[in-house]
Structure 1
Amino acid sequence: MHTPVELAKSYRLLNHGPTVLVTSAHNGQHNVMAAAWAMPLDFDPPKMLVIIDKATLTRELVDASGEFALNIPSRALAAQTLAVGSSSGRDGDKFANSGLQYFAASKIGAPLVEGCLGWLECKVIQEPHNQQTYDMFIGEVVAAHADPRAFENGHWQAEEDPQRRSIHYIAGGQFFATGEAFEVK
């Protein structure tokens, strides 16, 4: 289940620093990888930044297609997130091997991961120096979606079920889940 997110508020999907699943596709091949280094970069048009190592299949597919998606997994997907972050797409289909399911994006060729809390479809803004030197990709968000149980009207919703909270990778197979929400006025 997902609903559109207003592009002007799409940065809020990543503003709290969750681990993401980066999906890519080109010429009939697709891949998914985990990334802890992703963040919002700009508002208008909305832009995201993600680090994609040049040795990865994801990088090859992003370089060829000029697009990628950032998928925000929940705690329920932590084991699969670790699995796709610990293996190479060159060794087999990471979707099949991890059990992750996917569906078609609305504006790009990269697939979107089922069961995530939010999805950002991005077109690469070419910055060759940053891409080659720092493995840093800037993507303009062309579509954004969220599970309305988790994100609605431009805001994250308080989630009672701990399995439906976003996750933050801290190394060595360990994650934190997003904690309790509170408001300050």
Structure 2
Amino acid sequence: MPDDSINVGAASRRVPVELAKAYRLLNHGPVTLVTSAHAGRRNVMAASWAMPLDFQPPKVAVVIDASTLTRELVDAGGEFALNIPTRGQATATLAVGSRSGREQDKFAAAGLATFAAAEIAVPLVAGCLAWLECRVIPEPAVAGRYDLFIAEVVAAWADPAAFSEGRWHFPDAECRSIHYLAGGAFFATGEGFQVVPGERE
């Protein structure tokens, strides 16, 4: 397994996100890159079906198909990370969502560098907008029947150029989060706007 887990530049561009506000990293429904590792093996897959579930303690849910290497590693290790890629990482996101990690190291094949997580033994993808480190809350019946994993967020991080003070503020077109439709079609997160409570349009 290639050792590219030391990436000082990537780690230095992140700041901690208050765990009670970690849900805001996922609330707008971006594509995520799910990273996993166990016993010297690692993998990354793309997942659109990931969502926040709770505030304190923060929880997330993600669907991981039973046939995948990611599922094998998450089942064995009980941990995963949700990485939120940029518009500039869309090609790599499609690539890791279209190939099996049983055939090759998908990080290397897609040109994705990694760095070490703080609380879990799973790599984080460099260049992303945000990262959530997660420990599985065992629900074997739910996972077995629906491929649905529930996990507690034990650490959350964001690139301050795109997320600070609990809010997204995408700096440019390439550094927006992305949303997957189908067949290689994505769209980027659009312009934000504010609504004043009680105001009529």
Partner amino acid, structure 1, of 2:33: L
2:71 aligned with 1:40, yes or no? no
Equivalences for residues 82-121 of structure 1 within 5 A: 82-121=94-133
Contact 2:36 2:123 in 1 (8 A): yes
| Counterpart position of 2:178 | 167
Partner amino acid for 1:54?
A
Task: Work out which of the residue numbers 67, 87, 92 in structure 2 matches 1:55.
Answer: 67
Contact 2:92 2:112 in 1 (8 A): yes
Which amino acid is the alignment partner of residue 127 of structure 1? E
**Secondary structure of the corresponding residue to residue 142 of structure 1:** strand
Contact 2:161 2:171 in 1 (8 A): no
Structure 1 residue identity aligned to 2:130:
G
Q: How does 1:1-185 map to 2 (within 5 A)?
A: 1-157=13-169, 159-185=170-196
Q: Give the secondary structure class of the aligned counterpart of 2:102.
A: helix
RMSD value over aligned CA atoms? 0.6
After TM superposition, what 4+ stretches of structure 1 lie above 2 angstroms from structure 2? none
TM-score (norm 1): 0.98
User: Percent sequence identity over matched residues?
Assistant: 67
Whether the 8 Å contact between 2:162 and 2:171 is mirrored in structure 1 is no
When Rg is computed on C-alpha atoms for both structures, the one with the higher figure is 2
> For residues 177 and 137 of structure 1, what CA distance do their matches in structure 2 show?
26
The 1:145–1:160 alpha-carbon spacing in structure 2 relative to 1, beyond 3 Å, is closer
Aligned residues: 184
5+ residue gaps, structure 2, are 1-12, 197-201
Shift of 1:44: 1.0
1:160 Cα deviation (Å)? Answer: 4.0
Displacement after TM superposition at 1:39 (Å): 0.2
- Helix, strand or coil: the match of 2:195? coil
Partner of 1:63: helix, strand, or coil?
A: helix
